[in-house]
Structure 1
Amino acid sequence: MLKIETLRGFAAVAQCGNLRDAAATLGRTPSAVSMMLKQLETHLGEPLFETDRKNRLTALGRFVLDQAERELHQFDTTVRAIEGYAKAVYGSVRIATVPSIAGTIMPQVIARHFGTFDQVDIELRDIDSNSILREVLRNRVDIGIATIGQNRAGLHSQLLMTDAFGVVCARSHPLAKEDGPIEWETLKTERIIANSLSESIDAIPSRDLHETSRLKAHNVASILGMVRANIGISLLPKMTILAFGSDALVFRPLVDQTARRELHILRRADATLPPAARLLEERIRDTVASITQDM
C-alpha cells in the first residue's frame, strides 16, 4: 500500500492544504487524490488530517509527512542520478591513448565539448600501444586509442585515423636545408634512430634501415632529445611531431605515401560502454574528422 506515489499524493495535499490544488500539482483529479488518501488512512488505521478540509494534520499525519518528504527527496535524487547517468550527464570515463593523440586530439575534444562533460570524471592516460591493449582487455580503461596491428583478439576496433611517417631531423642537419618529400635512398647514409613506431613500416627499405641501425629508443622524449642533439635522424608519424615538436626540429614527409600509421579506437568486444564513454567516443571521432579534414 505504501507506494512512493501514495506518499507523493499525501505530501502534496499536506503541503497545499486542500485537495484541489494538490490534484492540480499531481496532474490528477480531486476525486482520485481523495481516494488515494482514504486508502492510505484505511491501511494505517488512523486519520492523517484533523478535518475533511485537509488543512490540519494529525500527529500521525505530521510524522508521515516528515518521513514522506525525506523518502521523496531521496527517491527523486536517485531518479535524477539514474537519468543523468543514462543521458551521459554523470559518470566516469577512463581513456588510454598514445602520447601523440593525448597531446593533440584529446585537448581539442575536451576544449570543444567541456560543457557536455563538466559533471563527468575523465581519466586520461598516455602510454604505448601494447600497454593500451592490455589495459583495455583487463577492463582498466573504457576506451583505448592505439596502433593494434594483428592484436585484435577480444577487442572491438574501429579505424580512427592514419598519419604519415616522415623524417625528423635537427634544424642544423643537412636534410633540414632542403624542401619536399624524401626518398628512401637518401636515408641509406644517415644514422637512423630506430623506434617501435617506425618498426611497423612494411616497406623493405625501411626494414633495411632498421636492421643496420645501432640506436633504438622507445620513449618519444628520448627519441626527440637525440634528434635535437643531432645524434641522428628518426622516422616518426606527423602527429607525434605536432604534439612534441619544437623549432629545433624539422619534419619532412616521405615520397612513399604507404608509410602510414593506423590508429584505432578500442574497447572490449564483450563490453558495452557506459553512456558517458559512448558519448566521448563519438566526440573523439567527430573531432578527428574535423581536424584531419583541415590538415
Structure 2
Amino acid sequence: MSMNFDLADLRAFVAVAEMNSFRAAATALHLSQPAISRRIEKLEAALGIRLFERTTRRIALTAVGRDFSHKARTLLDDLENSLLSMREVAASQTGEVVIACVPSAAYYFLPKVLTEYHKQYPRIRVRIIDDSANGVLASVTRGEAEFGINITGNQEPDIDFQGILTESFVVACRRDHPLASRSTVSWAEIGQYDYMTVDRSSGNRLLLDLALAHTSVNLAWCYEAKHVSTLIGLVEAGLGIAVVPRLSMPADGHPTLISVPLTDPSVKRMVGLVRRRGRELTPSALHLYQLIESTWPRRVK
C-alpha cells in the first residue's frame, strides 16, 4: 500500500473530525471546501479505508476513522512539541561565530541577514573581521574565521568558493551632480570630473584595473582610500565621484546618493562564500552560512 499523503492531509482530516464539518474545517484552515474534500479523499485512498460516512445531511467518522483520528491527533501534537523543543534549543544555544568579509560586500546587505540570525539564535555572538579580499582569504585559511564573504578565492587550492551573486560596478555620485540624471555613464566621461578610487591593495581596484587594461581609458584620481565605504562617504560630502560595487551603495531613495549604471566597459564581480577546504563548520556557523546563501539575491544589476 502506498502512503502517498502528507501532513497537510492529516491536518485536514483532524480538523474535519473535530469540527464534524467540511465547511467549518475549510474556514479554519483557510481552504476551500473542495480542497478539504480532496485532501480527505487522498488520505482515504492512501490508507485504503473509509474515514467518514457521508450523507446529504451529515458526516460521521467510521469506527476505523474514530480510531485513526486519535492517532493522527497524537502524531500532530507530538510533531508540534518536537518543533517547539527544537526552537527552544536553538534559542538557548550560546557561543560565538567569527566570519570575515570585504566591507563593500556587506555594508548594506549583511545587517539584514544578521538581524534574522539574531532572531533565531539570540544568544550567539557574531564577530566580523572586515578586511581586504586578501585579508579575508588569510583569515579563513589561518582558521581565524570559520568562513568569509569575498570576491576572490575561486583559484585557491585550499579554499572552497561558492558564488552567491553577481553584481555590477556603478558610478556613485550626489543627486545634485551633473551625472545624476544620466541613464548610463561611460568610463571616458568619468575623466571629466573629480574621480576617487580605492587603493591598489583592494580587490575591487584589481578588478577595475583589469577591466580597463585593454582600453584607452586612463583616469587620474584626486582622492584614494582603502575602503569603498570611505569613498562613499567622500562622495556624499561632495568631493567627487567614484566607481563602486552596486551592493555597497544605499538602497534606492537615499536623499543624497544615487547610483548610475557604468558602460564601455561594464564591469561585474562575483561575490561568494569562502571556507577552508575539508574543514567542517560548527553548527552555529553553518546556520549563518546557509542563511546568507539562501537570502542573498543571485544577481544585482
TM-score normalised per structure 2: 0.59
CA-atom RMSD in angstroms? 3.3
Q: Which residue of 2 aligns with 1:251?
A: 259
Q: Which residue of 1 aligns with 2:108?
A: 104
Is 1:158–2:162 an aligned residue pair?
Answer: yes
Q: Which residue of 2 aligns with 1:20?
A: none
Cα shift at 1:256:
5.0
Cα shift at 1:164:
0.9
Q: Check whether the contact 2:154–2:160 (CA below 8 A) recurs between aligned residues.
A: no
State the one-letter code of the partner of 1:147.
Answer: I
Q: Deviations over 1:85-108 (max 9, x none)?
A: 9x9945431112122343333222
In 2, Cα distance between equivalents of 1:190 and 1:200: 21
Cα shift at 1:193:
1.2
State the one-letter code of the partner of 1:191.
Answer: D
Q: Which residue of 2 aligns with 1:180?
A: 183
Cα shift at 1:214:
4.7
Cα shift at 1:190:
2.8
Q: Which residue of 1 aligns with 2:54?
A: none
Query: Aligned to 1:227, what secondary structure does the other structure show?
Result: helix
Q: 1:205 to 1:228 in 2, by over 3 A?
A: farther
Query: Aligned to 1:224, what secondary structure does the other structure show?
Result: helix
In 1, Cα distance between equivalents of 2:251 and 2:102: 11
Structure having the larger proportion of residues in strand: 2
- What is the correspondence of 1:1-295 to structure 2 with a 5 Å cutoff? 89-148=93-152, 152-176=156-180, 178-195=181-198, 196=202, 197-201=204-208, 202-204=210-212, 209=217, 212-242=220-250, 246-256=254-264, 258-289=266-297
State the one-letter code of the partner of 1:285.
Answer: E
Q: 1:224 to 1:109 in 2, by over 3 A?
A: closer
Q: Check whether the contact 2:188–2:217 (CA below 8 A) recurs between aligned residues.
A: no
Q: Check whether the contact 1:183–1:254 (CA below 8 A) recurs between aligned residues.
A: yes
Q: Deviations over 1:8-51 (max 9, x none)?
A: xxxxxxxxxxxxxxxxxxxxxxxxxxxxxxxxxxxxxxxxxxxx
In 2, Cα distance between equivalents of 1:222 and 1:139: 28
State the one-letter code of the partner of 1:274.
Answer: T
In 2, Cα distance between equivalents of 1:225 and 1:210: 24
Cα shift at 1:243:
7.3
Structure having the larger proportion of residues in helix: 1
Q: Deviations over 1:221-260 (max 9, x none)?
A: 4312332343321100111112799522221011357411
State the one-letter code of the partner of 1:281.
Answer: Y
State the one-letter code of the partner of 1:158.
Answer: Q
Structure 2: tracts of 5 or more residues without a match: 1-88
Q: 1:116 to 1:228 in 2, by over 3 A?
A: closer
Q: Check whether the contact 2:184–2:263 (CA below 8 A) recurs between aligned residues.
A: yes
Q: 1:141 to 1:245 in 2, by over 3 A?
A: farther
Cα shift at 1:166:
0.7
Q: Deviations over 1:142-174 (max 9, x none)?
A: 010011166523211111212110111223321
Q: Deviations over 1:198-230 (max 9, x none)?
A: 441333379754554353221234312332343
Q: 1:288 to 1:294 in 2, by over 3 A?
A: same
Number of equivalences: 209
Larger Rg: 1
In 2, Cα distance between equivalents of 1:225 and 1:91: 34
State the one-letter code of the partner of 1:164.
Answer: S
Query: Aligned to 2:263, what secondary structure does the other structure show?
Result: coil
Which piece of structure 1 moves more, 204-213 or 244-253?
204-213
Q: 1:206 to 1:114 in 2, by over 3 A?
A: farther
State the one-letter code of the partner of 1:200.
Answer: L
TM-score normalised per structure 1: 0.60
> Percent identity among equivalent residues?
26
Q: 1:274 to 1:205 in 2, by over 3 A?
A: same
In 2, Cα distance between equivalents of 1:192 and 1:210: 12
